[in-house]
Structure 1
């Protein structure tokens, strides 16, 4: 057997998951069809079951990938500044105008949070794992408080960031969008 076949199948699988991760953030879980994802990945619909046992299995991997993308981005942002500035840098990046406009590649929780309760358990499990990772990342950069208080503050910070981003994307008023994000950011900068 050709040794490139397993690598090729893995690369194809990865391409499908990447296309699905972008599609769910852009169109939501229910607005994302298998045929559209396969087409976006440059494949035929018929090849889907060679990679996934079900649509929910694909959506779980897509949710995991989309959540991972957000965590990786925040880790990269934190790595570019001194440790004491990491939390503020992550918040600025998360609440940036660029992130508001990047639904397809941005935070999956902000894009899909309201749909999550109606998803299959494996999809919710994948999303939950990545949300916990984001909370833990923020918690690790809470330099000013003891662990119980810092963890609670991390929960509030992530909830506020996600909520501010959801609202900033929802409104059709650019000034209000910016004001929502600025208010959330200023609240945490002043509290630090």
Structure 2
């Protein structure tokens, strides 16, 4: 075996076995858990809408009864675009939520896979595009949740005695920072993963 070949083997081994510091692995594993939770939430939300035979009518009723339809930053958009095209908006919402959920689950699985050592956690060429799509899904999930929060009136958390046994923060508002965090992490992964692998490894494999 030549010196150049030995270097290639060593490079391959380092890529297959080297991992982030324990703190980095723990943080990314936690982010994968959050991302998977968001993925499950949006996947089931989309499936629930597909399972509702009267979803379009129910969606229109929900939009018309929401405080944000008459007042708020989204009111002009809802009145000019959503209500006149309620069937299209309802269909788009169903596919968007389901699509976001599946992409987030895929991204979470990929982040979790990279936490392992050996061949299971080895880097692959498809990771950068997957990370980019997952980042866009995270930001889109945050934007969608924020839109629903504003449509429902956008009531910020406050100290209320009647909420002693309910969530202090609306679920839609709670999803917003989680979605932004997932998008931020996945965008960072994309910026790192898009860099070409070690040239010596490419030359050895070729």
User: Structure 1-normalised TM-score?
Assistant: 0.28
User: Structure 2-normalised TM-score?
Assistant: 0.27
